Structure 1
Amino acid sequence: MFIQTEDTPNPQSMKFVPGRAILGAGAMGIDFPTIESAAASPLAQMMFETDGVMGVYLGADFVTVTKAEAVEWLHIKPALLGSLADFLTAGIPVLHEGAEANTSAPATPLEDYEGDDREVVEQIIELIETRVRPAVAADGGDIVFKHFEPRTGVVFLAMQGACAGCPSSTMTLKSGIENMLKHYVPEVVSVEAVA
């Protein structure tokens, strides 16, 4: 099995693309920022078995691994490639049956917003889904809507995978996403990252 690797803007994260589905098309990515959070996924657990792995993100057709700063990719990349190839070849399900990966605070449900606020949130979510998420997935990460505070105009987003802890994530958040949202949705004043 050939697995392509791609560098990400985050030097501590690498994207592994096996040329086949991980979670499947249209699936929301799942972030496992700790080994404890990986209990729902045999694949994530296996990746954490490699010394130096600090986080695993499962996307539709890729896996992003974040390593400790003191560890070199040269030393762990072959083990990660072998583990991923062995796992996919064995045909083991990526998630335990019935398991839910609850790795971050849930988003405020759309039903909790009323009237104009709901329309604003719908616009924000649509922009994130259609313009932001595909771009950051290409870099091995994800950005997920969490909450909009109508009184202050602040949008709260969770950064996952290669985006979490990336040196350029603040610039992406403020210069890219915030400016785009403010342009299309005048009610947005700023964007903040949350865990």
Structure 2
Amino acid sequence: MEEKRVPVTMYAEMTPNPLTMKFVANKHLLMDDASVEFGSMQEAKGYSPLAEALFEFPFVDNVFIAGNFVTVTKTDNVDWDFIVMELREFIKEWIAQGKDILVMMPQGGGSKEEAVAVKKEFAPSEFDEVIIGLLNEYVKPAVENDGGAIDYVGFEDGVVTVEMKGSCSGCPSSTATLKGGIEQLLKSSIQEVKEVVALSV
């Protein structure tokens, strides 16, 4: 019996983070604004067969999947020139064969998520809805364009905490984006906001 193949086009795109490359497909991989990030083979096990397979490559350090793209962070001992074609073809082939991208959403079981849960619990605030609305409208599209994601964590004592994922996590320019862009936007819209910080795990 012939395997069913899906026609897939895919291109690789540089991100502001030099260690991260965004692989964009012409079809959706995850639905409904979902995004998922794995920092190791162990974290990906049982959740994302694609991420597990990508961690088989010795140079893959982090995998982030959202919408219609996969963002791969590499180790710094190898140049993109040598691996970008191989990764692009691998991900494209995986999707074309209709293999599973994500079988289950991680529910705080991974080490990164546990650290986040232990880190801090934020009580709901009256500004949550407004902040989320502003982030969704003005920040999310730009961040996703760069192969990352931003999640609102909480608001307390004038400080907005967000989590940067994908290419934005550990990116040199994400601090500038955070302080120059997001902080200015929220401060100008909500008087009570004094500062925006990234969740450190």
Amino acid at match of 2:56: E
Residues 63-142 of structure 1 correspond to what in structure 2 (within 5 A)? 63-96=70-103, 98-100=104-106, 102=108, 103-104=112-113, 105=116, 112-113=123-124, 117-118=125-126, 120-142=127-149
* Alignment root-mean-square deviation, CA: 1.8
Question: Which among 6, 13, 16 is matched to residue 13 of structure 2?
Answer: 6
2:58 aligned partner = 51
User: Following TM superposition, by how much is the alpha carbon of 1:44 offset from its aligned partner in structure 2, in angstroms?
Assistant: 0.9
Q: Secondary structure in 1 aligned to 2:100? A: coil
Q: Partners of 1:36 and 1:4 in 2: how far apart?
A: 28
Note if 1:184 corresponds to 2:174.
Answer: no
Runs of 4+ in 1 over 3 A off after TM superposition: 106-109
TM-score, reference length from structure 1: 0.88
User: Following TM superposition, by how much is the alpha carbon of 1:93 offset from its aligned partner in structure 2, in angstroms?
Assistant: 2.1
Q: Partners of 1:135 and 1:62 in 2: how far apart?
A: 14
User: Following TM superposition, by how much is the alpha carbon of 1:52 offset from its aligned partner in structure 2, in angstroms?
Assistant: 0.8
Q: Secondary structure in 1 aligned to 2:58? A: coil
Q: Secondary structure in 1 aligned to 2:175? A: helix
Matched residue count: 185
TM-score, reference length from structure 2: 0.85
Structure 1, unpaired ranges of 5+ = none
1:168 aligned partner = 173
1:147 aligned partner = 154
Percent identity for Structure 1 against Structure 2:
38
Note if 1:34 corresponds to 2:40.
Answer: yes
